[in-house]
Structure 1
């Protein structure tokens, strides 16, 4: 009988699951796993902080649909990854977070031992689908396989598996692939037989609809082709949620983009007589406006719980968006007579929204922000990926930066954390080495995870980092100015010299001084073999 350690069992399980990349930091409590990785084909990316590991796994998963894997130590390693897990939980991004804990004999009470963390599983469950502690060595493989499946099942999200360190050095029988395959739970996402009757009802409603409309959320990002075909057949305008941006080409004549926060668009949506909502919770938009319609609401989602959330649907289909869209495409009546009229009406309402732009974003430098986005879009290939932090140019980008492919504009929509952009871009580029990837971050948010410049340079990834430097937390500064003009607290920052920072890491640096500079700098930076730093200095923005 072949024998292996618990640490080897972790790696064997990941290999069985076809995991090819993990993000983490070695520590005294997880060295048994790292020793096993020495003889594995799995690529390990050493991060500078566990928060970086979580965001890198997020970027990897968010742009591939595969499970992103992070490996951290007990105690502080686990608490450091809480924020990216929260972001992934809100955005339905499948992660597998593996952590260690102290030996089982120390887990039932306070002992003062290194990295002790009481109630770790209860803590993690607030930002994860599940958190499980492996009870004995033979359970390591099945726990990891089940966690990986759970991360993908239904509404995707992060799952945590905790392994006490005494299990990692224990010896167990080495399972073969057949045994691991039998361990794996076979789950089926499709409920097609169960929803077919409801789909027929939906077809009848759509065939008589005068003003149908489609809403696409982040849960339908992989259904873009079928949903585009459905929209064309129905001559139905398409509204995207922030998480759904890019699912449909923004240049499509039926696409309203991410513009629910514009009054003209909200009125347009409210007047639809049938709304098909795919993969969205229908939560409030970027500026606190809730979805509303006078028509029949049909909701399609893999997560049954969303049907009772925010606004109830008249018909709810528990099914994958792609499956339902494919079924509808076979059954709905094509409406060619409405095509020209609806295209004109979409252009008209988008023109009205453009007139509302200065009222939505009361920025003194709005014209500068629009030009920044224009120059980035011109330089970035159509399938290029822009990974953004919570920063003022990104808020404008939702409606004004065209995205042409799914998951080509990443943003911390749900949890709204700062610091996601740089590490998430690293994970994204590792997943898609053939595609152009760039970062757009504010100076404040960039410094949350600035340490990952070390990871970026060590991996030699071609990622231009655009830092919009307004010398503080510019959006919050604007709110403070509204509340108490001329008086500020906590929003002005002493920043590093970004050129010196780039030099310290051996990165090319570009300072943007006038129109055209950003387009030229980004075009050059995208051809380089390694990273670069581009600073846009905006001292007078507020």
Structure 2
């Protein structure tokens, strides 16, 4: 079916979509036009929404994700039917796994073709929304234009209600194109569902914490999503509890605080502290693969686990499970502790050491372990990047060895640290940074951001050089080129003595970027700080390429 043009004065279903999104506060839409979605894009021309067109739908999903992470607002994604919708799914998996609120509007074939398997109908799937079931909170099919405003409002509400995440809406081609009698949308209201902790569970948790001699805290991504940083700091200081942040929680607790174990969750010395805690408070984390130091964590004390996602609770360890938004839970725990503890009532004892002494000694051991592993190049490289990046700048990291280092060693300071550790797919860094830059710009904030990729992951999103150039976005893209899938090479060499299928032919990234009219340079590892300092203060997009092979640190006592 070929889309028929509609007169400019005649409103259609696409207008209802963009009017509702605008009324809900959306400013930006990401996506790629497609045959069945033309009604959406025609309506965009009559709206104030800004459209950012990527070159691959998966990257559009990453960009909407990055927009949401950078701003705390809902990312909006428009998709075409069939191949376009399916291509977005890996990006949506990252948003779903990480709890990023998004509203995804996908087109569909005309209503009369749904389920009929009509011969010759392009893009048709047996059940398109079923394809999104594993990577979105819910899926809706809208069959009548009059249902569009309420459906989008409901989807927005669900997306921002904890556990946050992407919500999928499908609108058939004819519903988008046909004229409507529904009047223009004047207002829309979406308020997150309340998700407070149960009173009896808070009371029990406070009893445990007040009586603890060795309390410790793991701060996961839920603390950041719940904007709970002030209450985490207050609670930790009342308990004098050491705090370690997961990669997703990086930045939830001050890096240089005397109780901060920073983000060294993959070091065995930190794991031993968590194991020795008599009460371990886990906030907004599943205690999953990375945070549990690859499931080697064996806590000997009691665990209190707080998470908005009920399926996460006790999924890896028995615990006092509290289903709640981490922000609401921390407010309740912090205020309740005041009444129980009293001023200075809690005196922790880590086998004759104060918590502050324990933290200092543990971090010293971590650094001494690194000292013994011939990692001078890697540590200098990461330190130079950190020194070059302004304190308030947001950074977006792909699944690459540099990011694996950053999970543990990156002090995010006043900026935010974003990585793809939720689902672990390649290609997040650059398009995520594009969305983040657009989002910051929409809020009138400094929009320069840094993306970090390896050469393997860079190829997943190389086409977005056209996007960043088209919109002249202030994104600096650091590509660390080691000639292949570096982390997989290291894993295979460690496991089998040799690596297979990890080496890659790759382009000249500098010349390729320049072919898109994006300034680029190749620098030596020792010159990365100066190159980034210059690139991060330039206008528009730019690329920095470093050819180097980095190693990962060994987290155990067996390191040599």
Name 2:221's counterpart in structure 1. 218
- CA RMSD, aligned part only? 2.3
Paired residues for 1:316-395 under 5 Å = 316-332=321-337, 333=341, 334-335=343-344, 341-357=354-370, 366-395=375-404
Alignment counterpart, residue 141 of structure 2, candidates 121, 133, 141: 133
Name 2:312's counterpart in structure 1. 306
Q: CA 1:501 to 1:202, structure 2 compared with 1: closer, same or farther past 3 Å?
A: same
Contact 2:248 2:421 in 1 (8 A): yes
Contact 1:370 1:400 in 2 (8 A): no
Q: Deviations over 1:192-234 (max 9, x none)?
A: 6xx2343233323222211111111111112112101211121
2:236 aligned with 1:207, yes or no? no
User: Partner of 1:256: helix, strand, or coil?
Assistant: coil
Query: What's the CA shift for 1:37?
Result: 1.0
Contact 1:470 1:538 in 2 (8 A): yes
Take 1:380 and 1:58, find their aligned partners in 2: how far apart are those partners?
22
User: Structure 1, unaligned stretches of length 5 or more?
Assistant: none
Paired residues for 1:509-528 under 5 Å = 509-513=520-524, 515=526, 517-528=527-538
Name 2:6's counterpart in structure 1. none
2:311 aligned with 1:284, yes or no? no
User: Structure 2, unaligned stretches of length 5 or more?
Assistant: 1-8, 553-560
Contact 1:249 1:405 in 2 (8 A): no
2:441 aligned with 1:438, yes or no? no
User: Partner of 1:383: helix, strand, or coil?
Assistant: coil
Take 2:480 and 2:469, find their aligned partners in 1: how far apart are those partners?
21
Residues 449-458 or 103-112, more deviating: 103-112
Name 1:464's counterpart in structure 2. 476
2:74 aligned with 1:61, yes or no? no
Alignment counterpart, residue 227 of structure 1, candidates 222, 225, 232: 232
Name 1:113's counterpart in structure 2. 121
Alignment coverage as a number of residue pairs? 528
Q: CA 1:443 to 1:179, structure 2 compared with 1: closer, same or farther past 3 Å?
A: closer
Alignment counterpart, residue 4 of structure 1, candidates 2, 11, 14: 11
2:254 aligned with 1:237, yes or no? no
Name 2:165's counterpart in structure 1. 157
Q: Deviations over 1:377-397 (max 9, x none)?
A: 111111212211111121112
Paired residues for 1:496-535 under 5 Å = 496-513=507-524, 515=526, 517-535=527-545
Take 2:407 and 2:370, find their aligned partners in 1: how far apart are those partners?
12
Name 2:89's counterpart in structure 1. 82
2:153 aligned with 1:145, yes or no? yes
User: Partner of 2:36: helix, strand, or coil?
Assistant: coil
Q: CA 1:134 to 1:415, structure 2 compared with 1: closer, same or farther past 3 Å?
A: same
Q: Deviations over 1:429-478 (max 9, x none)?
A: 11123154101110010011110011111111122111111011112222
Residues 172-181 or 4-13, more deviating: 172-181
Query: What's the CA shift for 1:511?
Result: 1.9
User: Partner of 2:15: helix, strand, or coil?
Assistant: helix
Alignment counterpart, residue 266 of structure 1, candidates 229, 248, 271: 271
Name 1:14's counterpart in structure 2. 21
User: Partner of 2:305: helix, strand, or coil?
Assistant: strand
Take 2:188 and 2:333, find their aligned partners in 1: how far apart are those partners?
38
Take 2:187 and 2:412, find their aligned partners in 1: how far apart are those partners?
44
Take 1:214 and 1:9, find their aligned partners in 2: how far apart are those partners?
47
Query: What's the CA shift for 1:257?
Result: 2.1
2:498 aligned with 1:495, yes or no? no
User: Partner of 2:463: helix, strand, or coil?
Assistant: helix
Q: CA 1:135 to 1:483, structure 2 compared with 1: closer, same or farther past 3 Å?
A: same
2:43 aligned with 1:36, yes or no? yes
User: Partner of 1:460: helix, strand, or coil?
Assistant: coil
Take 1:358 and 1:397, find their aligned partners in 2: how far apart are those partners?
17
Take 2:221 and 2:409, find their aligned partners in 1: how far apart are those partners?
19
Query: What's the CA shift for 1:3?
Result: 7.2
Residues 498-507 or 526-535, more deviating: 498-507
Relative to its length, the structure with more helix (as a share) is 1
Residues 83-92 or 294-303, more deviating: 294-303
User: Partner of 1:372: helix, strand, or coil?
Assistant: helix
User: Partner of 1:305: helix, strand, or coil?
Assistant: coil
Q: Deviations over 1:354-386 (max 9, x none)?
A: 233478xx7x7x322211211111111112122
Paired residues for 1:153-192 under 5 Å = 153-175=161-183, 180-181=188-189, 188-191=193-196
Query: What's the CA shift for 1:289?
Result: 2.3
2:546 aligned with 1:536, yes or no? yes
Take 2:43 and 2:95, find their aligned partners in 1: how far apart are those partners?
28
User: Partner of 1:317: helix, strand, or coil?
Assistant: strand
Take 2:187 and 2:465, find their aligned partners in 1: how far apart are those partners?
42
Take 1:421 and 1:179, find their aligned partners in 2: how far apart are those partners?
35
- TM-score normalised to structure 2 length: 0.89
Take 2:389 and 2:336, find their aligned partners in 1: how far apart are those partners?
39
- TM-score normalised to structure 1 length: 0.92
User: Partner of 1:48: helix, strand, or coil?
Assistant: coil
Name 2:558's counterpart in structure 1. none
Take 2:159 and 2:203, find their aligned partners in 1: how far apart are those partners?
31
